[in-house]
Amino acid sequence: MKNYEWCAYTYRHRKAFLYVIEKLIHEETLKKEMKKRAKVHDMDKMLLYLFFGQREVQEWHVKNQPHHLESGLGNTYFDLVETVIDYECAPYTKPDKPLNAYDFVCKLVTMGYLKQGKADELIRIMHDFGIDHSSEVAGDEEGFAYLKQFEEISEEMILYEVICYVRENPESAAMDYLKGHYPEGGEAVC
């Protein structure tokens, strides 16, 4: 499988994303929306990793997903919640990104990558979830125990999620991108 390691990494990240939603969001309407988003969160990357290099996929993903603030796309409240969840779950699966959402936002502001106004919006959301402060995710034994079951990811597990995504989202931007590169076989590929 092309880019197996990146697919497995994304698979685990998606499980951590869902875990953080369950852990932090208690309001039912918001939880329902975020679980809906969890079904497609980063699935464009998993699909495209099967055909393209990691760097190309990552760059395309960031430009096309409003939960990535650097995309320049407008952000709804739900996009910003997705951003917060994305930042908060990173330490569970990304040893190279040990900061929780609050500390990561503060770092982005300090480095000049995030304007204070947008940071304030994110911190207000974090406040609602009770995570608007420095903390170490490493102490979440329950979370790490849950995610331990996803240490071994098979190609079949990855392909199952990709197939479900393609079937449920045939008009996604990732599908359009793929069809643009495989115009004559795009339908057959997917």
pLDDT of residue 183: 64
Residue 185, pLDDT above cutoff 60: no
Residue 16, pLDDT above cutoff 90: yes
Dump pLDDT digits (tens) for 92-140: 987 777 889 999 999 999 999 989 999 999 999 999 999 999 987 767 8
What angle do helix axes 116-129 and 101-110 make, rounded to 10 degrees?
170
Dump pLDDT digits (tens) for 50-96: 999 999 999 999 999 989 888 778 889 999 999 999 999 988 987 77
pTM attached to this predicted model: 0.91
Q: What percent of the chain has pLDDT over 90?
A: 77
Residue ranges of domains in the chain: 4-189
- Given the structure tokens 């420095």, which residue do they identify? 134
In whole angstroms, give the CA distance from residue 179 to residue 186. 4
Q: Are 43 and 162 within 8 A, CB to CB?
A: yes
pLDDT of residue 184: 61
pLDDT of residue 128: 96
What angle do helix axes 77-93 and 28-40 make, rounded to 10 degrees?
60
DSSP 61-89: HHHH-TTSGGG-----HHHHHHHHHHHHH
Q: What percent of the chain has pLDDT over 70?
A: 95
Residue 159, pLDDT above cutoff 70: yes
